[in-house]
Amino acid sequence: MQRDILNSIPEFERLRIQEENAKEAEALYKEFTAAFSKEMCDSCGKPINTFSKESPCFHWLLRPGKAKKEHIEKVLREKGYFRCAAYIKWVSNFESHFKYINNLSEEGNLEALFHWSAKYKHIKWTFWCTRNDYAGHNNQPPHFHFEMRLDKMPFIKFNDFHIPFSEEDLFNIRSHEDPESPVKQTFGFYGAGLEEAFSLDTEKLLNGLTTTENQEEAVYHVHTVLHSEEGIPVEVINKAMAAAKKKKVPVAKILRGLGYDAKVVIEPAESLITKESRSNPRQKKLSSSSVDAELDPPFVK
């Protein structure tokens, strides 16, 4: 069994491998950002707007030149799910971290092995795999589905392809699905999305937030609830709101500093990317009285 093989590796050796993998991922990400900022592909060394049928590459997922559906499918089949997903997550996080990757477990198809969407400029990708897909239904091998939208219009639809998992994909999935496996696959910080952004402790998160008046910049929606047996004077609330606006912090921080019991509920901002789905639109409706906020840069470092 895969678990037995992994467990047979001494712990010190697993830790060494994990450390090496982390250093390699860090180096690869730096290479990616250095090249991408110059509109170059770090994988093939060519401009990301170029296309050559003879050289399938990750940057085809950006649909350069005259790339067609079958070319995108070829990259997905040859490179595999995890490698293509990592590339798209890095691209989506290139300009702003977290907000353009919706991998929230509470949204979309809750029974799916994975279901997430990511966005970069006019392109939106969605990866989808149900338990039946992973089991290999209708004489298909274990596979996933993929949707690609350009300017909000479907370019590749979910039912266009059944993309088989590579052996590397299956190894990673089996490790992830096995609760006793000592090895788990992750996309790391550079591939993190909204699920990771909202898995942080609420109080620690609150201390790292700065407010913004631009709805499109917001990652979080902060709703403040006040409780006081004696009541709170209106002038105190107004002064707290003015101070919060000046300092660009949630008003709860100011009110707490004044000794009031201010509780917060942090939810996804309405401007965030939604998951594309056949039948599961975003279910959560957010409060219009909340304060929009984005991650303070020092907090995410």
pLDDT in tens, 9-54: 777 777 787 788 788 889 999 999 999 999 999 999 999 999 988 8
Q: Which of 145, 170, 195 is the last residue of a domain?
A: 195
Quick: pLDDT tens for 64-108: 988 999 999 999 999 999 999 999 999 999 998 899 999 999 888
197 vs 203: CA distance, rounded Å: 13
Among 165, 195, 225, residue at a domain's last position = 195
CA 247 to chain CA centroid, Å, is 29
Task: Answer for the pair 205, 233: CB distance below 8 angstroms, yes or no.
Answer: no
Q: Are 139 and 51 in a shared domain?
A: yes
Residues 134 and 42 in one domain: yes
In terms of domains, do 17 and 142 share one? yes
Q: What's the domain range around 209?
A: 200-300
Say if residue 2's pLDDT is above 90. Answer: no
Count of structural domains, the chain: 2
Does 139 lie in the same domain as 82? yes
Are 189 and 214 within one domain? no
27 lies in the same domain as 42: yes
Rounded to two decimals, the pTM is 0.81
Q: Does 143 lie in the same domain as 166?
A: yes
